[in-house]
Structure 1
Amino acid sequence: MTAPPVVEDRVADAVSGHWVDRRAPRPARPYLRLARIDRPIGWWLLLLPCWWSSALAAIAAGRALPDPWHLVLFLVGAIAMRGAGSTYNDIADRDLDAQVARTRNRPLPSGQVRARQAAVFLVVQALVGLAVLVQFNAVAIAVGVASLVPVAIYPFMKRVMPMPQLVLGLAFSWGALMGWVALFGGLQAPALLLYGGTVAWVIGYDTIYALQDIEDDEIAGIRSSARFFGERVRLAVGLCYGAAAALVFAAGWQAGMGMVGALGVGLFAAHLGWQVRRLRARDGHGALGLFRSNRDAGLILFAGLAADAAWQGLL
């Protein structure tokens, strides 16, 4: 007698062999997957703009290091809010996710978690994020609360906008404002330029990410920048990445960045250029690897900006 097939509940683009799949208690696994703990690239990409902004603020303030306490708070907040945002997105998208091969095993469309249970879990994660946010000054708290607007509308944009990645960029780039306002209590040109550059970066890397789903999205009628750009996707990503590097450099220049920071921006730009050279329009597997490599690109930029602050502090 043939044994029944084993149903794989791990999401297709999760990290293979992650501790969530191997060691977490089985009842907790669907919730950890809702929070994307098995896909850490998400919270890295939310965290890195916060760290860039903190390092940029340190350069402008003449400090040798970004505020260590702020860096820790941003780490905790990024993990919590990435989880909350992903849970909210999955609640809104559970019917669409059931139509896409990469997402149909997510906890909600696969029935591992009910919508009401997911909503409770969302509130818990949001409260953790709120506990982090109230550690900052009043202006930073107000700026942080304002980030909920693009977060709230993003899941619905893929139904009406040809490029929902633009709204995702507005949401995922918010940290580029937070590190600066947490130190200075206000928003000046360097933070706004960094935010613009980060939005362009997010549109670029999420267009790469969307290449994994382009065929299923066409069938389900889901809009994405990958579908919008079509065969010109490589050029489009290159333009986004070029704008990102230029605006980040302008932000550093306005903040008083020196040669060490400029080198960091140059290496960041070189990494983005490498991604564009490797990009292929219908290579979903390769697209996932390129998307994940943006963690390394972001860490290179952070290291350059932090080293610039330290170098200038020694002068």
Structure 2
Amino acid sequence: MSQTAPISSFIEKHYLHFNAAALVDAAKAYKTHIASGKKMMVTLAGAMSTAELGLSFAEMIRQDKVQIISCTGANLEEDIMNLVAHSHYKRIPNYRDLTPEQEWDLLQNHLNRVTDTCIPEEEAFRKLQKHLYKVWKDAEDKGERLFPHEFMFRMLNSGDLKAEYEIDPKNSWMIAAAERNMPMVVPGWEDSTMGNIFASYVFTGELKASTMKSGIEYMAWLADWYIKNSGKDGIGFFQIGGGIAGDFPICVVPMLHQDLEKDNVPFWSYFCQISDSTTSYGSYSGAVPNEKITWGKLSIETPKFIIESDATIVAPLMFAYVLGW
């Protein structure tokens, strides 16, 4: 590795064993996968946007190192919240020591805590709500139905938020995705702040539930996308964390094989998960990659990696390696 790529050179020199070596092996295989012309899905679980993954992930999008994204509703919205309210976030390094009374004080100050980082309700949630309601209502008035991410893209591409940016927009992965109209699925979007807010408008009768396309429609869309984009070799699957962001889209391959009875649909052709889930409790997030063979998701030949570590540490390092930093 060239000295002009200091992070990659450091990784190759020092990351020689155990989870560190798995990181290197997975990153090299990711580069090989992309270099061979195959496409990659990246799935974002947890609160990776609040962890500011956009600092590296936005560049992955711009350099075409990822071709489709699956993310939670939280990751979809929290990148934009950080974009418009960054100066109002509050970090609490001693979060492990907080008493219930101190947690209550955070609530009273409209600060919602994610581990060591508090998201400001007024500056983040309500600011986004105001802009999104307009986009939702305008679409409904025109008889349009869109996916959750399409409404976000429409809001970002309108330019209405530009005056409120508080970080360099090149560090927002959602801006990078919106500019490219990145293919995306957001399973379980209802389990997010904006999903709850949309539901409140449905409850009051201000919006119709049908204005928002559903998870079933996401799966049907993904099936069509996979058929059209997998070619003979299949799509790669890079899973950051566990949960629905990964569990939902990986099922499209066995659905195509077993439920739609389609022939010549390739398996996922690369698999890597950054995970801290224990493997022995029956959790899907903790399953070793070979278990996925039994479900018709991966083949015997699929390159498989699991890095048992903290995604906030591992993902930026892997992206740096893939980008040649």
Q: What TM-score does the superposition give when structure 2 sets the normalisation length?
A: 0.30
Higher helix share: 1
**Normalised by the size of structure 1, how large is the TM-score?**
0.30
Answer 1 or 2: which has greater strand percent.
2
